[in-house]
C-alpha cells in the first residue's frame, strides 16, 4: 500500500479535487489524478484526469449534496486505486479570521469557528464546512487539515490591516485580512527558482487575476500589502464582484432605494464586476472578443483598476523590482498583460510584446528596470504540501 493525500476545494455547486502521494513532499510531477464533481444540487457530473491529463472518467452519477459528491469520489478512488491508502485530506478555506495564521488540523472547535466566519465569506465558507462535514461522515477517522487563504497575509504590518474605525472594532476582528493567500504562498515559494536572487527577495507585486482577482505586494517573499480587505469583495473588480466601493453607496441603496441586506449582498457578489458593467458576460475571453462598447468599458475598468492598485502597492514597497501575473486571466490573457505593462512603464516595466504574445515566462526586455513574469499558480500543491508537513511526515 502507498499513502495518498486528497486536496479539496469546495464551492456552492462543485468540488474540485486532486490526489498527491503522501509518502514524500508532493510535487506537481507526482500528481496521481485531479478532477471535479459539478452540478451539486442537481444531476452530478463527475470528471477526472490522471497526472498526465488523460481523461479517466466522465460520468453522471446520482446525488444532490456535497456528501453525495464526496461519496462518488471515494468509491471511484477505491475502485481505481485499491493499492493506495488515503492518509489525510486538505481543504482550501477562504477565511481564517484573526485566529488562524497557519494550517490546522480540523476538529469540532475549528468547524465552529469556520461557521462563525460564514458572514465574512458567504460565497465560499458554507460550502467548505459542508465538505468537511460530509467527508467526516464518510471517513470518520481521516485527518482533515484546513489551509487558509488569509494566513499568508498575517505578516503585514498593523498599519496595513487597520481600518480608521473606533479601536474596539479592530479588537473585535474588523480589519483587513486579504485573500488568495495559498496562491501567493505558492508563487513566493518558487520565486527563487524563476527570478534572480535579488529580485526574488526584493519588491515583488503578484497579480492573481481570475474570476476572483487581487494583488499582493511582497518584500522578502512575505506579504506587505494586498488589495482585498475584510471580505473578498474589496479591491479589483472581478467576474461578478464589485471590488472597491464607497461604503456610502451601500447606505444610499438602503436609505433611498429601500434595498434589503440580502438584495445588496446579491448585487455586490453576483450582479456586479465584469458582468455588471458589460451586461454581457463575466468571461474575459468573451469580453475581449466582443465589439460591444459596454464590453470594452468593462475591460477598460478592469485594466484601469489594476494600474491604480499597482501604483498603491508600489508606494507600499517603495518601488517594484518584479511584477508577476498568475491565475486564469493573468496566465492566459496576453492582451490584459500587455495593457497592464504599458500602464506600468513609469515603474520601469519595458514590455517585450513578442514574448508576451508567445506566452513566455518573462515578458519584459532584458534592459527593463522592473521585470514582468507569467508564473502559473498551484494552490492544490500548496495545500498538499501543508498536509504532508502536518500529517504525512
**Separation in Å, CA 17 to CA 46, 71, 111, 118, 305:** 11, 13, 20, 22, 32
What is the rounded CA–CA span in Å between residue 169 and residue 80?
52
Strands 144-148 and 104-105, how do they pair? antiparallel
CA pair distance 107, 144, nearest whole angstrom:
8
Active-site residue, selected from the candidate residues 3, 39, 78, 149 = 149
Q: Which cell numbers hold the place of 159?
A: 498599519
With a CB cutoff of 8 Å and minimum separation 6, the contacts of 338 are 351, 353, 356
The Cα–Cα gap between 93 and 118 comes to: 11
- Rounded to whole angstroms, the Cα distance separating 45 from 59 reads 6
As a whole number of angstroms, the distance between CA 8 and CA 36 comes to 9
Beta-carbon contacts of residue 100 (< 8 Å; ≥ 6 apart): 113, 146, 148, 150, 151
Q: What is the largest CA-CA distance in the chain?
A: 65
Give the neighbor-by-neighbor strand order of the sheet with 104-105. Answer: 55-59, 45-50, 33-38, 15-21, 2-10, 84-93, 144-148, 104-105
Helix (H, G, I), strand (E, B) or coil at 267: helix
| Catalytic site includes residue 149 | yes
Q: What is the dihedral of CA 82, 87, 91, 92, to 10 degrees?
A: -90
CA separation for the pair 350, 356 (Å, rounded): 11
CA 265-250-229 angle, to 5 degrees, is 70
| Placement of cell 499568508 in the chain | 152
* 270 to 69, 70, 282: CA distances (angstroms): 25, 26, 10
Measure the N-to-C terminal CA separation of the chain; round to a whole number of Å.
16
The residues assigned a catalytic role are 149
Amino acid at each position: 500500500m502507498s499513502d495518498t493525500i486528497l486536496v479539496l476545494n469546495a464551492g456552492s455547486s462543485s468540488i474540485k479535487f486532486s490526489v498527491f502521494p503522501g509518502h514524500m513532499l508532493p510535487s506537481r510531477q507526482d500528481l496521481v489524478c485531479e478532477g471535479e464533481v459539478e452540478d451539486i444540487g442537481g444531476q452530478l457530473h463527475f470528471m477526472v484526469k490522471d497526472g498526465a491529463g488523460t481523461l479517466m472518467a466522465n460520468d453522471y452519477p446520482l446525488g444532490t449534496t456535497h456528501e453525495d459528491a464526496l461519496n462518488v469520489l471515494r468509491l471511484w478512488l477505491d475502485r481505481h486505486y485499491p493499492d493506495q491508502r488515503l492518509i489525510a485530506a486538505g481543504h482550501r478555506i477562504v477565511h481564517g479570521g484573526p485566529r488562524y495564521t497557519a494550517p490546522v488540523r480540523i476538529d469540532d472547535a475549528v468547524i465552529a469557528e469556520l461557521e462563525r466566519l460564514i458572514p465574512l465569506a458567504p460565497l465560499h465558507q458554507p460550502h467548505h464546512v459542508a465538505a468537511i462535514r460530509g467527508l467526516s461522515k464518510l471517513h470518520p477517522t481521516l485527518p482533515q487539515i484546513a489551509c487558509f487563504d488569509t494566513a499568508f497575509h498575517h505578516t503585514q504590518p498593523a498599519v496595513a490591516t487597520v481600518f480608521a474605525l473606533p479601536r474596539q472594532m479592530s479588537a473585535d476582528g474588523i480589519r483587513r485580512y486579504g485573500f488568495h493567500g495559498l496562491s501567493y504562498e505558492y508563487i513566493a515559494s518558487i520565486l527563487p527558482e524563476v527570478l534572480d536572487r535579488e529580485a526574488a527577495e526584493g519588491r515583488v507585486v503578484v497579480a492573481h487575476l481570475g474570476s476572483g482577482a487581487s494583488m499582493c505586494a511582497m518584500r522578502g517573499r512575505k506579504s506587505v500589502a494586498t488589495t482585498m480587505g475584510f471580505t473578498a469583495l474589496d479591491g479589483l473588480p472581478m467576474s461578478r464582484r464589485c471590488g472597491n466601493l464607497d461604503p456610502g453607496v451601500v447606505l444610499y441603496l438602503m436609505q433611498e432605494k429601500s434595498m434589503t441586506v440580502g438584495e445588496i449582498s446579491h448585487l455586490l457578489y453576483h450582479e456586479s464586476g465584469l458582468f455588471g458593467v458589460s451586461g454581457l458576460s463575466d468571461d474575459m475571453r468573451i469580453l475581449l472578443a466582443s465589439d460591444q462598447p459596454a464590453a470594452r468599458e468593462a475591460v477598460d475598468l478592469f485594466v484601469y483598476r489594476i494600474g491604480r492598485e499597482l501604483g498603491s502597492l508600489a508606494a507600499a514597497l517603495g518601488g517594484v523590482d518584479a511584477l508577476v501575473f498568475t491565475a486564469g486571466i493573468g496566465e492566459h490573457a496576453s492582451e490584459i498583460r500587455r495593457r497592464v505593462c504599458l500602464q506600468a512603464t513609469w515603474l520601469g516595466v519595458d514590455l517585450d510584446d513578442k514574448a508576451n504574445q508567445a506566452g513566455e515566462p518573462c515578458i519584459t526586455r532584458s534592459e527593463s528596470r522592473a521585470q514582468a513574469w507569467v508564473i502559473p499558480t498551484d494552490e492544490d500543491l500548496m495545500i498538499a504540501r501543508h498536509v504532508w508537513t502536518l500529517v504525512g511526515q
